[in-house]
């Protein structure tokens, strides 16, 4: 499983629209779409989980593409380690 950070999303975009857009490259396993607590609109970014090869295909195929009038910014989201390992 690979997580893609997707930035510069239009604030009116819904989870379903984003899922449909990325589904061209494979199965979207999970979408995290943070929302503003006051307006209810998304905050302009999402984290999308896909299988590794599908995520890489989506990143190369969609980088710099327009989605609802905004140019997407994609990057591989590295997992954050909690605490230190000794």
Tell me, what's the pLDDT at 23? 95
Q: What is the pLDDT of residues 14-27, one digit of tens each?
A: 999 999 999 999 99
Is residue 84 over pLDDT 60?
A: no
Domain boundaries of the chain, sorted by first residue: 1-37+55-71
CB 60 within 8 Å of CB 2: no
Q: What is the pLDDT of residues 21-79, one digit of tens each?
A: 999 999 999 999 999 999 999 999 999 999 999 999 999 999 889 999 999 999 988 76
CB 23 within 8 Å of CB 69: no
CB atoms within 10 A of CB 70: 15
CB 67 within 8 Å of CB 19: no
CB atoms within 10 A of CB 58: 23
Looking at the DSSP bridge assignments, the partners of residue 2 are 50
């Amino acid at each position: 499983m690979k997580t893609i950070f997707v930035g510069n999303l239009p604030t009116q975009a819904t989870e379903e629209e984003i899922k449909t857009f990325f589904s061209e490259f494979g199965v979207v396993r999970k979408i995290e779409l943070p929302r503003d607590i006051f307006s209810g609109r998304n905050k302009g970014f999402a984290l999308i989980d896909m299988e590794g090869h599908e995520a890489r295909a989506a990143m190369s195929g969609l980088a710099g593409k327009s989605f609802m009038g905004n140019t997407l910014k994609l990057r591989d989201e590295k997992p954050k380690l909690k605490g230190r390992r000794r």
